[in-house]
Amino acid sequence: MFSAVSAAAQTLEIEWHAAFVEHSRFWTIPKSGLAFARNNMQKSLFNKDYRLFLSLLKRAREHAGLTQGQLARRLAKTQTFVSKCERGERRLDIVEVRAWCKALDIRFPAFVSKFHTAIERGEK
């Protein structure tokens, strides 16, 4: 009888483990934790802070009196690249933002500070 109970308990443990745990080559992750993390993370490409960031980039270009094509030439990119970045279709990393600022003759730390201040004020 003990072996039957033990076998049933082992089966239940295996079923529970399969239902609640996902295996990786290096670690075991509870599935509930993954689902929780996935549901609460908002892609930065679409959140309001990123839209504000894109708006500031576009305003900086316009303030510099440059068209998308002119900025693109300074960046050694295409006008389509600049357009996609300003519309949020293409994400910029920090290195690209620094190059963007340099092309607009804006100090990178000043741009970051302006962005931070705009977020703190709740600008849209």
- Write the pLDDT tens digit of every residue in 53-70: 999 999 999 999 999 999
Render pLDDT for 82-114 as a digit per residue (tens, 0 to 9): 999 999 999 999 999 999 999 999 999 999 999
- Give the Cα separation of 54 and 52 in Å (integer): 5
Domains in the chain: ranges and CATH? 2-40 (no CATH), 48-121 (1.10.260.40)
**Please, are residues 114 and 56 in contact by the beta-carbon 8 Å criterion?**
yes
Q: What is the pLDDT of residue 12?
A: 46
Residue 123: what residue type? E
* Angle between the N-to-C axes of helices 108-121 and 48-63, in degrees from 0 to 180, rounded to the nearest 10: 130
pTM of the entire predicted model: 0.63
Q: Which residue has the higher pLDDT, 122 or 5?
A: 122
